[in-house]
Amino acid sequence: MKQRSALALLFIFGCATGGVAAQLVVPPVRAGTSPTRWEYQCLRARNGEVTAAANQNGAAGWELVSVAPAHQDHEWGNNYETDAFLLCAKRALP
């Protein structure tokens, strides 16, 4: 009797989680459509020019995806000062 109860509970639990798990799965690309193709651009901007460079690229349709330090100067006391950044952006190909 205990095995049947445990099996019934396990079955109910599996049914309940199966419906939730199906919603978490990424759907495959639909037949007849192609995935978005991207072009990428990375540029170097000095510390005071980062915002202007990002705005200029955004106006041209580029979406900023990452920013990383491009150059750091060592100062006294183990401090680093970043004076240039690498901005990488993408936009969909037509």
pLDDT of residue 21: 67
pLDDT score, position 94: 86
pLDDT given for residue 54 in this prediction = 94
Residue-level pLDDT at 38: 95
Position 40 scores a pLDDT of: 97
Ordered DSSP codes for 28-80: PPPTT--PPPEEEEEEEEEGGGHHHHHHHHHHTT-EEEEEEEEEEEE-TTS-E
Taking 50 as the pLDDT cut, the residues of the chain under it are: none
pTM of the predicted model, to two decimals?
0.59
